[in-house]
Amino acid sequence: MVKGLAIVSGVALSALAFPVIVIDDFTTGTFSYTRSSVGTSSARVAGSMLGGTRWTLSNVTANPSSSQLSVAVGGGVADFVAGNGLVHVSELRYGYTLGGALADLNADLTAGGNNALKISFLENSGNLGLLVQLRRTAGASSQWFNYNTSVAASAVPFDLSIPYSVFGSFNLTDVDQVILRFTSEPGADYRLGGVEAVPEPATIAALGLGVAALMRRRKR
């Protein structure tokens, strides 16, 4: 009986190991830039992120105190640090070439049962506006979906989970471009630890309850 329970337990653990899709863990494609004047700075780099390239853009829209925006990616962190009063809109783009042209990802973000986007925040000193844009090529045309939300300030790390249900009928089995656009409060900083396609916590919990019930039946 003990051996049988061990086998069931092993199956249960493997069932809970969802194949998370890493869109970006910020360990490769390192770069940094700074900007003080109103306008846009950007960096396009190659690495292990989804599609093999990341295009980061920052548009400084106001800087009344002549302070500085510092953006850096490396070591598993994407860091956006704004000086006093500086306002910026920054984007992370996937599905583009190093030259800035479209390069379709053809990504199935639902593979393995994943049903949510997870953005890991290491820090967020001010409220953020977040726009998630998804694009797919449909024959000679394209289809876009825009999802807007807000992210509350937090001094402790947290994960923002965006369920796929918010994208309606958009075909998440064939996503060609992913854009995350963050709009900051004046002088606010934020640090990201990763972007992934994952199962929602409720999905994991439901599966865990099912596994627990199965193991209870085995014990009887």
Query: Three-state secondary structure along 32-89?
Result: EEEECCCEEEEEEEECCCHHHEEEEEEEEEECCCCCCEEEEEECCEEEEEECCCCEEE
φ, ψ of residue 162 in degrees (nearest 5): -115, 105
Q: For position 14, what pLDDT does the model report?
A: 42
Is 21-198 in CATH node 1.10.1760?
A: no
Q: For position 140, what pLDDT does the model report?
A: 87
Q: Which pTM value belongs to this model? A: 0.85
Q: For position 218, what pLDDT does the model report?
A: 55
Q: For position 139, what pLDDT does the model report?
A: 85
Exposed, middle or buried, 141 (CB in 10 Å: 0-12/13-18/19+)? exposed
Q: For position 219, what pLDDT does the model report?
A: 54
153 with 127: CB under 8 angstroms? yes
Q: For position 19, what pLDDT does the model report?
A: 84
User: What's CA 29's distance to the chain center, in Å?
Assistant: 16
What tokens appear for 42 in the block?
A: 């950007």
**Weakly modelled stretches of the chain, pLDDT under 70:** 1-18, 201-220
Q: For position 21, what pLDDT does the model report?
A: 97
φ, ψ of residue 153 in degrees (nearest 5): -60, 145
Q: For position 196, what pLDDT does the model report?
A: 98
Residue from 22, 40, 114 nearest 76 by CA: 22
Whose structure tokens read 């780099």?
Answer: 45
> What's the chain's average pLDDT?
88
For the chain, which residues make up each domain, given as ranges? 1-18+203-220, 21-198
